[in-house]
Chains A and B, each alone.
Chain A
Amino acid sequence: DAGVTQSPTHLIKTRGQQVTLRCSPKSGHDTVSWYQQALGQGPQFIFQYYEEEERQRGNFPDRFSGHQFPNYSSELNVNALLLGDSALYLCASGRGIETQYFGPGTRLLVL
C-alpha cells in the first residue's frame, strides 16, 4: 500500500499564476481533505471532498478550488497566486472519523 501520495513535492510560481496540486488517497479511502500549513502554524483546513463533491469548506477564498475524481484522487487549484499563498499544502485521506492519513505535502513558493 503506497499510502497517501502528493505531487509535485516542490513548486515555484510567480504572483498571478495558477497552480494545480495532486493527491492520491490511501487504498480504501473515499474522503480527501486539503490543508494549508504556513510557517509556524498548525495546518488550516481548506476543503474536503467525498463522492466527487465538496462536502465542507474552510475560510479560504474562491481562488482555491478543487476536484475529486471517480478513483477518489483529488486536485487542489489555486488561481491568481499571492505571495501569502506560499505554504506547505497537505492532503489527507480517510473514512469518517477514523484516523486521517497525510501525504508528505507539496511545498509551494510564490515569488
Chain B
Amino acid sequence: ILNVEQSPQSLHVQEGDSTNFTCSFPSSNFYALHWYRWETAKSPEALFVMTLNGDEKKKGRISATLNTKEGYSYLYIKGSQPEDSATYLCALILAAGNKLTFGGGTRVLVKP
C-alpha cells in the first residue's frame, strides 16, 4: 500500500502570516507530484506538477519545493489571505499516465 502523508491535518493562520506544510511519500519509483487547492463547494484546482528533485514552483504567493531523494515536498503560502482558506492536497504518480495517490490533505483556515 502506497502511503502519502500530509501534515498537519489542519492549520489556523492569521491574515498576513506565512505558513508551510508537508507532503511525505515513498522515494522509490517516483514519477511526479501534484499539488491541488480545494475550496469548499468547488472542484480541486491544480497548483503545481513537480517532477525533478530540487524543483521549485511558484504561483503568486504560493510556492512549492520537491525533494525526491528524501521523499517530501513543502508548500509555502506567503502573506496568507482569507481567500487562501482551502484544503491543500498532494498526490503522487509512480509512472507515466498512472493514477494519482492522494494524501489526506491539509486544511488551511486564514483568519482576518
Contacts and interface: CB of A to CB of B under 8 A. Distances in A.
Interface of A: 3-4, 31, 33, 35, 40-45, 48, 50, 55-56, 58, 90, 92, 96-105
A45 B96 CA distance: 16
Contacts of B98: 56, 97
Given A31-B97, A97-B31, A104-B42, A44 B102 contact: yes
A45 B100 contact: yes
Nearest to A94: B97
Contacts of B46: 99-101
A97 B43 contact: no
Nearest to A92: B100
A97 B99 contact: no
For chain B, what secondary structure do more than half of its interface residues adopt (helix, strand, loop), or is it mixed?
Answer: loop
27 contacts: A3-B43, A33-B99, A33-B100, A40-B104, A41-B104, A42-B102, A42-B105, A43-B44, A43-B100, A43-B102, A44-B102, A48-B99, A55-B97, A56-B98, A58-B99, A96-B96, A97-B49, A97-B51, A97-B96, A97-B97, A98-B49, A99-B34, A101-B43, A102-B36, A102-B43, A102-B44, A104-B42
B89 interface: yes
A97 B44 contact: no
